[in-house]
Structure 1
């Protein structure tokens, strides 16, 4: 019974580690995203990205690029983040662009028929 509890604790610990690996930071022309855009990291990435975007909106930038070159994995929660970032840019009259989207993300975007939305 103790070994099962330890296994459960270990699993939860590794999930938390993957959350810390996921990051969004400001770059010269927008934001750089690293790590996994997945359910376990979505909430913290959304919170941080909204703070960063709000501060960038004050700088009078007209467009925001989201560089996904270091995204390692993405799931439906990650796709929802992309849609939310696009929506936030639209609401603030800023152009939105994605660069270096991994093939896995492109496949999900096509599956959900979001190609036009995320252009």
Structure 2
């Protein structure tokens, strides 16, 4: 965690391949993360990638956020991809029956 990043915070950074998510995806950060990312689904693009490697913590609200991003992408006709989901997110998705949400390309059309 960087010195400027607060514990339990969420940060989004643009990268060459998309957007890197860092920090926590939790009840405390999900509303901020949704607000911070909402414009990405309205900019007219056709593809979007969230790199989840930097997600240190997540709870059910974080999983709900990932599902909401899928919904927003589908509504905007954007191909959404989640890259490098950490094991703790993959485990939560498996237990919840949502493992398909974290597949490399959950939306194919």
TM-score category of the 2 structures, normalised to the smaller one? 0.7 to 0.9
Query: Where does structure 1 differ by over 3 angstroms across 4 or more consecutive aligned residues?
Result: none
Of 52, 56, 81, the match for 2:40: 52
TM-score scaled to structure 2, two decimals?
A: 0.80
CA RMSD in angstroms, aligned pairs only: 1.6
Q: Can you give the 5+ residue segments of structure 1 that lack an aligned partner in the other structure?
A: 1-16
Question: What is the aligned length?
Answer: 98
| In structure 2, C-alpha distance between the alignment counterparts of 1:117 and 1:75, rounded to whole Å | 15
Alignment-derived partner of residue 3 in structure 1: none
Of 42, 49, 57, the match for 1:65: 49
CA-to-aligned-CA distance 1:11-39 (integer Å, 9 cap, x gap): xxxxxx434x3112333332210001111
Name the structure where helix makes up a greater proportion of residues: 1
2:41–2:78 contact (8 Å) kept in structure 1? no
Residue aligned with 1:116, SS: helix
Residue aligned with 1:97, SS: strand
| In structure 2, C-alpha distance between the alignment counterparts of 1:62 and 1:53, rounded to whole Å | 9
2:25–2:55 contact (8 Å) kept in structure 1? yes
Larger radius of gyration: 1
Q: Can you give the 5+ residue segments of structure 2 that lack an aligned partner in the other structure?
A: 1-5
1:26–1:52 contact (8 Å) kept in structure 2? no
Alignment-derived partner of residue 3 in structure 2: none
TM-score scaled to structure 1, two decimals?
A: 0.73
